[in-house]
Amino acid sequence: MLTILFDGIAYGMLLFVLASGLALTLGLMNFVNLAHGAFAMAGGYVTVILVNRSGFGFFTALPIAFLASALLGSLFERTLYARVYGKSHLEQVLFTIGLVFMAVAAVDYFLGSQQQFAQLPEFLQGQFDLFGVGIGRYRLLIIVLCGVLTVALQLLLSYTRFGSRLRAAVDDQRVARGLGINVNAIFAVTFAFGSGLAGLGGALGAEILGLDPTFPLKFMIYFLIVVTVGGTTTITGPFLAALLLGIGDVAGKYYVPKFGAFVIYTIMIVVLIWRPQGLFARAAAR
């Protein structure tokens, strides 16, 4: 029981790191980025290649995965995404679906369609008992890492100059611009950072979520659930939503395997009907 809770929390934390970048970009630019998972996949593959083929250590590979995805993200943002901001939601959806299709086929072409695993260091494998609760070492690492990241993110948003500018831009873009805040620059940085976080999440999650070319499609719905249920005006909303989703999904698959992913999708639809703005969002100003 507690083990399931533990696994669920690890899963939820992972989802939060994966989806937090999406929450920020969606809230900031009202841009529907269905291709967010592609950046996570990039991070995952970078790690796998570095660790398995080039003999890097797992912990050296993680920051590289972050940087690689961030770089990729900012490259795409500057060259492609920046042209699509002003367009309708339909066109944004088409554009990002196109990117997903391309990413899936390209990875399939270059790296094959089989599932990939990064070799973990010895001390991260297996699990130990703590007061009768089986705790996976790797999952503990994920919880600790993601927990630190979450706190850092929250602090960054609450107490730095950049964070307050970002929050201002999310709350009301026009007024923020009027006050002389360079919203475009903020957005570029946020996009790159969010892609980097997704890449890190993909690197950490390769072991738990499974990494193959269809990753962006498979988890697209999960990211979107986190973002829509949590709302995009705060960072705590998506965090709670991700935890709920993680625990709900793990528990649902364990206790009622017959229903599988049913539980999650149904909950999502109900929440969206009940509160279209998201479960934890304050009433939007717009």
Residue 172 lies near another protein (rule: CB under 8 A): no
Q: Which residues pair with 134 in a beta bridge?
A: 129
For residues 217 and 142, what is the distance between their CA atoms, to the nearest angstrom? Answer: 23
Residue 283 lies near another protein (rule: CB under 8 A): no
CB of 98 to another protein, least distance (A): 3
Q: Applying CB under 8 A, which of residues 3, 52, 64, 108 lies at the interface with another protein?
A: 108
Q: Applying CB under 8 A, which of residues 2, 60, 78, 87 lies at the interface with another protein?
A: 87
For residues 256 and 146, what is the distance between their CA atoms, to the nearest angstrom? Answer: 28
Residue 94 lies near another protein (rule: CB under 8 A): yes
Largest CA distance in the chain: 58
- Helix (H/G/I), strand (E/B), else coil: 172: coil
Residue 247 lies near another protein (rule: CB under 8 A): no
The residues, ordered by sequence, that sit 6+ positions from 171 with a Cβ below 8 Å of its Cβ are: 233, 285
- Helix (H/G/I), strand (E/B), else coil: 278: coil
Q: Applying CB under 8 A, which of residues 57, 63, 98, 121 lies at the interface with another protein?
A: 98
Q: Applying CB under 8 A, which of residues 150, 228, 233, 234 lies at the interface with another protein?
A: 228
Residue that is written with structure tokens 């494998």 in the block: 125
Specify the DSSP class assigned to residue 180. T
By beta-carbon proximity to another protein, the closer residue of 72 and 149 is 72
User: What sign for the dihedral angle of Cα 243, 244, 245, 250?
Assistant: positive
Residue 75 lies near another protein (rule: CB under 8 A): no
Residue 262 lies near another protein (rule: CB under 8 A): yes
By beta-carbon proximity to another protein, the closer residue of 149 and 224 is 224
Residue 266 lies near another protein (rule: CB under 8 A): yes
User: What sign for the dihedral angle of Cα 124, 128, 130, 133?
Assistant: positive
- The residue ranges that bind another protein (CB under 8 A) are 26, 32, 80, 83-84, 87, 89-95, 97-106, 108-109, 217, 221, 224-225, 228, 258-262, 265-266, 268-269, 272-273, 276
